[in-house]
Chain A
């Protein structure tokens, strides 16, 4: 068993395997960038389904590649920790180059010309940047772990509200399209959300007309927050954030004799018509529709509206305030109002993803800075200095070896900065 573990560990540490995993991951991701994608997935063809890749980025091959990337990166990071600590302490590691001793050039001055600083026998170039590779790899680990935890606990769904309507998100059939992670709460958040106002035609200079809503969010009897939400920013209510969604339209507010006032949301059929299929309280299927004289999307107004009810093969026009039979229930059309769609998100582990991004980018920024450690040798040993550089090793050897005589004398005459 120990032998197998040791073999696996050696394999994970090999740069060849790391490259193979990265290449496979890049190929997989690149291939699926070209397939038409939807929220539901891609490649919903028979072949895609048969291969189990109809949702490629949660499919087993992808998850295995990500797991291998994590394992290989972990092995690499643990290896790097020891090496980076040694470099940080001023000990050029195994891959250090040795500058041969030359009577006509001072290595300290030469190295100062390459950005190395220090007063003693150990010189550094961008010392903090020595941690670049380590920070980048550790950041990748954090990011992968953060995304895994975030996906496990994430919860989100959509809901719709008519102006002045209040809905409890944890009530049955309020939230739809919900996709909770395996460790997320079973129920949607216990919040009551009221749409106080909705403007579908908000216009700001430089930007297309868009939606904006005024929401009130309460938990039990306590109002958590009241504020506007548009497609730029969500509205935070405790651990839940509410977002403005795209769908909106007109809703018919109808007073039902048995159950009180209820909103019936209609969806646009075309520019001047909207409709929706519903059931009356007694279960009778019915269709409510609306026709306008001008465009329903005209910010200046849709003009006159006519409202119709179709049930049991008959179509009648409804009048505001007029009573009508909705199935077996007596009903009255009260008003026509606007409705809007929203989504909510609950992602307790999102800071882990932010932190992962931060570490990866910090590591990449440090990697972009050339780093190095040099240990000056005592004269008379044939070696002028042992130098580790994060890049430009060959160039440094070439410049030290082929230092033109003019430049050599110039360098000899220059004082190193400390």
Chain B
């Protein structure tokens, strides 16, 4: 059942991806509508697959690579759908978001059969806030970068993706999403600190991931300052949004794999 639900979700993401690309090529609004509907529909079996795994292993999706990446993809699409609900003009960003979700599912599938237990310290409500907001942080940063990419494309060629908002509005959306990402990263850091204090009596240990997260949060603050205090907008801010995305990827994936950290595998998942 879990397997069927997972593959149904993956198939619908693939269909949504294809429809978004077809919409970019042929500019038929019906294709974009179909793509969004397929993305929405995919969330049902995908969510079901995650819920079934949760019920089976007795803990949330934060152990194996399948659980981690699949949950990341799910939240990315949820954030995208919520963003489109608030700002319908963002629908076109699905051409970047849905392939990313499909790719994440593809990367996760080889550890689908792997099931494992997690350390007892994971039995904490702070954990759900810590990991949940880490995933939301990643998803909002990807969406902010997608808006920045849309901005650059539209600023160069106004006719590109006609149903995307104006460059100025995309620039504003990228800023708003970056602010949300900043908040999510802050909650992630605070929840992780409070979790550590509850379990070990210390709220900060300068673990490489903790340190890298703090550096990323400070850089996000710097980028936001450049906009608010120095009026940086447009292409400069779009490139800085890509810097923010790069730092996010480094913190979430690269440091985890490259540096000795207590977070090893819990951000990228236990490999098969």
Contact = CB atoms under 8 A, between A and B. Distances in A.
B211 interface: yes
Most interface-central of B121, B211, B230 (chain A CB within 10 A)? B211
Given A15-B225, A29-B211, A232-B199, A204 B123 contact: yes
B200 to A, nearest CB: 6
Nearest to B168: A395
Interface string B181-214: 0110011001001100111111101111101101
Contacts of A353: 203
Interface in A12-35: 15, 18-19, 22-23, 25-26, 29-30, 32-34
Given A22-B221, A29-B218, A367-B183, A207 B168 contact: no
Interface in B207-231: 207-209, 211-212, 214-215, 218-219, 221-222, 225-230
Contacts of B215: 26, 29-30, 33
B51 interface: no
B219 A26 contact: yes
A230 B119 CA distance: 12
Contacts of A23: 222
B172 A243 contact: no
B270 interface: no
Interface stretch (A162-170, A299-307, A356-364): A356-364
Interface string A316-347: 00000000000000000000000000011101
A103 interface: no
B11 interface: no
A232 B200 CA distance: 8
B208 A19 contact: no
Contacts of A15: 225, 229-230
A263 B137 CA distance: 50
Interface residues of B, number: 56
A232 B195 CA distance: 9
B222 A26 contact: yes
A221 B214 CA distance: 46
A206 B56 CA distance: 9
A367 B187 CA distance: 14
B3 interface: no
B65 interface: no
Contacts of A364: 179, 182-183, 186
Contacts of A29: 211, 214-215, 218
A206 B186 contact: no
B211 A33 contact: yes
A32 B207 CA distance: 10
Nearest to A210: B120
A156 interface: yes
A234 interface: yes
A271 to B, nearest CB: 21
B200 A343 contact: yes
Contacts of B183: 361, 364-365, 367-368
A208 interface: yes
Contact of A33 (B117, B121, B172, B212): B212
Contacts of A156: 201-202
Contact of B168 (A22, A208, A361, A398): A398
Contacts of A368: 176, 179-180, 182-183
Given A33-B211, A234-B201, A357-B193, A367 B179 contact: yes
A364 B184 CA distance: 9
Nearest to A202: B120
B120 A231 contact: yes
Given A30-B212, A343-B200, 6 more contacts: A18-B225, A232-B120, A232-B199, A233-B198, A234-B201, A368-B182
User: Which 6 residue pairs spanning A and B have beta carbons closest together?
Assistant: A206-B58, A345-B201, A30-B215, A33-B211, A210-B120, A26-B218
Interface of B: 57-59, 117-124, 168-169, 172, 175-176, 179-180, 182-183, 186-187, 190, 193-194, 197-203, 205-209, 211-212, 214-215, 218-219, 221-222, 225-230, 233, 255, 258-260
16 contacts: A19-B225, A19-B229, A33-B209, A33-B215, A33-B255, A34-B208, A36-B260, A206-B57, A207-B58, A207-B118, A208-B120, A234-B201, A343-B201, A345-B201, A357-B190, A394-B233
